[in-house]
Amino acid sequence: MPEAASAQPVRATVGDSEFDRDTALTLREPGVHDIDLSAGWTIINAVNGGYLLAVLGRALGETLPHRDPFSISAHYLTASQPGPAVVRTDVVRAGRTLSTGQASLFQRDEDGREVERIRVLASYGDLDALPDDVRTTAEPPALPPMDQCFGPQDGPAPVDGSSAITDRLMIKLDPATLGWALGAPSGKGEMRAWFGLADGRDADPLSLLLAVDALPPTAFELGLSGWVPTVELTVHVRARPAPGPLRISVTTRNLAGGFLEEDAEVWDSADRLVAQSRQLARVRLG
């Protein structure tokens, strides 16, 4: 049906999408990459930590002999701002099946001094070289069909400040984890959603680094509000995601002493657990 076909919106592809353009780095010299951090991935008053991790992850993928982040650990030092930034990368060890690298993102302050924003340590490999053996006991999150889930565009913006990132993402939250948006948080530290990029670009290992930090904070469902700054975020990419929407579940089991962990699982359309992450974040106790 040519009509139907021509009625299809043009879907962005891996390599030609907002996400790819906004994570693109220019190699100034070996180990030094320039980038202009996009304002399109800001939320409240900050550049999204997952977008920043994807930028650092991409820089490492272009530096190391292996291209896929198997385990990437980021420690967030100071709040990044949209605008020029420099990523410095180092090869720590180049092995046969795994290589390890380090990267740091810097920006200049008002006085022109370089300030380090994030430091990352990561082990890279080749996901396509892994055996197919899968013995996962984890179950995909139970999510209602996408048309029974809700996104930011379905209601008033639940947070003050910028929500630019919501225009770049397709997020459809499970109504069971939406109490906070209706003023009735469940008290359970859970957030579940369908996830994709708004322009239709399919997921790849780099966009998984964005996905694990893209949902509203579980703290909202615990009755807390405001910014939940990430101290440290580690992501394990376990498989190359199949095309189609992702399902993400984020769980917090231990809110204590003003800190909480957020454990994220990302499942692809083929029911494969493609990424696991954990972050330590700081909360303002109400």
Residues that bind a copy of itself (CB under 8 A): 70-71, 73, 75, 77-78, 92-93, 98, 100, 102, 116, 119-123, 127, 130-138, 188-189, 222, 231-232, 234, 236, 238-239, 253-259, 261, 272-273, 276, 278, 280, 285
Nearest distance from C-beta of residue 41 to a copy of itself, angstroms: 23
Rounded Cα distance between 176 and 124, Å, is: 36
Of the two residues 55 and 122, which places its CB atom closer to a copy of itself in the complex? Answer: 122
Contact 57, 204 (CB under 8 A): no
Nearest distance from C-beta of residue 255 to a copy of itself, angstroms: 4
Instruction: Mention every residue, 6+ apart, whose C-beta is less than 8 A from residue 126.
Output: 66, 67, 68, 97
Of the two residues 103 and 169, which places its CB atom closer to a copy of itself in the complex? Answer: 103
Rounded Cα distance between 33 and 54, Å, is: 14
Rounded Cα distance between 116 and 108, Å, is: 9
The conformation of residue 239, written as its DSSP 8-state character, comes to S
Reference 23, options 77, 109, 101, 103; nearest CA is 103
Of the two residues 67 and 75, which places its CB atom closer to a copy of itself in the complex? Answer: 75
Rounded Cα distance between 58 and 51, Å, is: 11
Of the two residues 127 and 165, which places its CB atom closer to a copy of itself in the complex? Answer: 127
Reference 219, options 154, 284, 277; nearest CA is 284
Report residue 216 as tokens: 């509203």
Of the two residues 42 and 276, which places its CB atom closer to a copy of itself in the complex? Answer: 276
Rounded Cα distance between 121 and 104, Å, is: 9
Of the two residues 112 and 131, which places its CB atom closer to a copy of itself in the complex? Answer: 131
Contact 215, 193 (CB under 8 A): yes
Of the two residues 56 and 149, which places its CB atom closer to a copy of itself in the complex? Answer: 56
Report residue 192 as tokens: 């579940």
Reference 238, options 94, 88, 131, 118; nearest CA is 131
